[in-house]
Structure 1
Amino acid sequence: MAHKAATLDDCAPGTVLARAKAILLDSDGTLVDSTRSVEASWDKLLGDEGAGRFEKHYHGQPGRRVLRLAIPDISEERLEELFNRVEGYEIASASDVEAFDGTARFLSELEKAKAALSRECWAIATSCTRPLFEARYRPLSLPFPSVLVTADQVTHGKPDPEPYLLAAERLGVEAKDCLVVEDAPGGLESARAAGAFVVSVLNSAGEGTVGPLADLVIPSLADVSIEAREGELVLLAR
């Protein structure tokens, strides 16, 4: 029987959806809406290279992996040249990025939970490099993570589990005791492979696409809240 994720259907406000020692968050497509910037930047690059357009399944994967998928015979030297060019496009268009509804409140709740627990309890693991993440995230004045894993800090990016395993390790917990919030198949595969409880938001893909890869599907972070209870984090329906 195919895996079927739980949903918020028939969940009253305050219903406990999951418990975890820590929460690991994707950024693009989960916390912030960078779709316009990403797709325009990549369409420009790939169009100039005669390599088609940015495809939906590229979302959530590191730029170098996207280049290898889009241009299979690319040399390493050419890959680095094109990667630097497209990242430049994305940084230049970072002003097009906005926080999703619910992001600021949810992150503020995590900061309150961190204070209540007296320990670090959340992290961001993104397929961006550090410079690109900061260009998109800092202008939004969102709580900045004390633990941040970017694509330039790992050997194998999403859909490999390494980003989430490293984020959990830096928080001092095991990935199996974490809850991951993601939006794209590549990130969801990464989280599942790490052994975490996987929550998918529907910001960039439909339930039919993400449902088989998630334990719980929610419309967005605006539909849930997080708080500290008895030494752990509790995810609640709103």
Structure 2
Amino acid sequence: MFAGRKFAAFLFDMDGTLINSIASAERVWSDWARRHGLDVAAFLPTIHGVRAIETITNLALPGVDPAHEADLLLKAEAADLDGIVPIAGAVAFLQALPGESWAIVTSAPRSLALARMEAAGIPVPAVIVAAEDVSRGKPAPDCFRLGAQRLGFDARDCLVFEDAPAGIAAAEAAQAAVMVISATHSHPLPTPHAAIAGYDNVGITIDERGWLALAAQRDAA
């Protein structure tokens, strides 16, 4: 994994990358889709990794105000935190990172991100880039560029951890390196990037500058 390469910082997507919130999100979005007469099975794959307001805007539903609907969805998702759990090994992996060397970059609004992190026991970083922090969401690169900037680095020197096509495309557009997290994938995701199912067998090394490198760990057995 990125043999010999070091990174100034790690930038993590949240849903599907650090936490598994699929059950909660799909319950809320399924109810919303049924109310608007959508084919739920066809619609659900489009919600992951993208801001709610952009998902709704892209549907171009007659008489639907995307901002209003996104706010309703935010409230419904914040009220449904049942079954939200961390991706395997994520908590320990994050706790091993220097606080100034990582950020969460999510398409979720900040209030929902914080609620889900608390539900899953994910440590809260000093830097969070949330839906309201950018005018263009993923797959635009703005969020990852902003996350790197707030840490004091260039996105090209960072490693992005992502699970969704929109987020992967955003990281690519920001010229960051990409690690795909496949823990919540029901089918293999075609990708040229390195991929891991979780963080249990991944460690880090830190050089004298504070730059990070990934290190594979053997099972204790």
User: Please, what TM-score do these two structures have when normalized by structure 1?
Assistant: 0.83
Q: Residue 5 of structure 1 corresponds to which residue in structure 2? A: none
1:137 aligned to 2:125? no
Aligned residues: 214
1:102 aligned to 2:89? yes
C-alpha separation in 1, matches of 2:39 and 2:91: 36
For residues 5-35 of structure 1, what are the alpha-carbon distances to aligned partners after superposition, in whole Å with 9 as ceiling and x for unaligned?
xxx6xxxxxx947420111000000000000
For residues 122-162 of structure 1, what are the alpha-carbon distances to aligned partners after superposition, in whole Å with 9 as ceiling and x for unaligned?
10000000111111112333321101000011100111100
What amino acid sits opposite 1:72 in the alignment? A
Q: Residue 34 of structure 2 corresponds to which residue in structure 1? A: 47
C-alpha separation in 1, matches of 2:116 and 2:185: 21
CA-atom RMSD, angstroms? 1.9
1:65 to 38, 51, 54: 54
Q: Residue 160 of structure 2 corresponds to which residue in structure 1? A: 180
Structure 1 residue 227: Cα displacement: 2.8
Aligned ranges 1:141-160 → 2 under 5 Å: 141-160=121-140
C-alpha separation in 1, matches of 2:149 and 2:188: 32
Q: Residue 11 of structure 1 corresponds to which residue in structure 2? A: none
Instruction: Give the 3-state SS of the residue equivalent to 1:190 in structure 2.
Output: helix
Aligned ranges 1:58-97 → 2 under 5 Å: 58-69=47-58, 71-74=59-62, 78-97=65-84
Greater shift, 203-212 or 56-65, is seen at 203-212
Instruction: Give the 3-state SS of the residue equivalent to 1:235 in structure 2.
Output: strand
Task: Rate the CA distance shift 1:93–1:210 in 2: closer, same or farther, 3 A.
Answer: farther
Contact 1:157 1:163 in 2 (8 A): yes
Contact 2:46 2:55 in 1 (8 A): no
Structure 1 residue 72: Cα displacement: 2.0
C-alpha separation in 2, matches of 1:181 and 1:17: 18
Q: Residue 163 of structure 1 corresponds to which residue in structure 2? A: 143
C-alpha separation in 1, matches of 2:102 and 2:22: 24
Q: Residue 207 of structure 2 corresponds to which residue in structure 1? A: 229
C-alpha separation in 2, matches of 1:187 and 1:228: 26
1:218 to 196, 204, 215: 196
Structure 1 residue 207: Cα displacement: 7.5
Contact 1:68 1:74 in 2 (8 A): no
Q: Residue 19 of structure 1 corresponds to which residue in structure 2? A: 6
What amino acid sits opposite 1:163 in the alignment? C
Contact 1:17 1:235 in 2 (8 A): no
2:171 to 191, 194, 208: 191
What amino acid sits opposite 1:27 in the alignment? M
Structure 1 residue 85: Cα displacement: 1.6
Greater shift, 203-212 or 78-87, is seen at 203-212
C-alpha separation in 2, matches of 1:96 and 1:33: 8
Contact 2:171 2:178 in 1 (8 A): yes
Q: Residue 4 of structure 1 corresponds to which residue in structure 2? A: none
Contact 1:161 1:193 in 2 (8 A): yes
Greater shift, 138-147 or 195-204, is seen at 138-147
Structure 1 residue 177: Cα displacement: 0.2
Instruction: Give the 3-state SS of the residue equivalent to 2:206 in structure 1.
Output: strand
Structure 1 residue 210: Cα displacement: 4.2
For residues 155-183 of structure 1, what are the alpha-carbon distances to aligned partners after superposition, in whole Å with 9 as ceiling and x for unaligned?
00111100000000001100000000001
Instruction: Give the 3-state SS of the residue equivalent to 2:200 in structure 1.
Output: helix
Contact 2:7 2:157 in 1 (8 A): yes
Structure 1 residue 68: Cα displacement: 2.2
Give the helix-richer structure, 1 or 2.
1
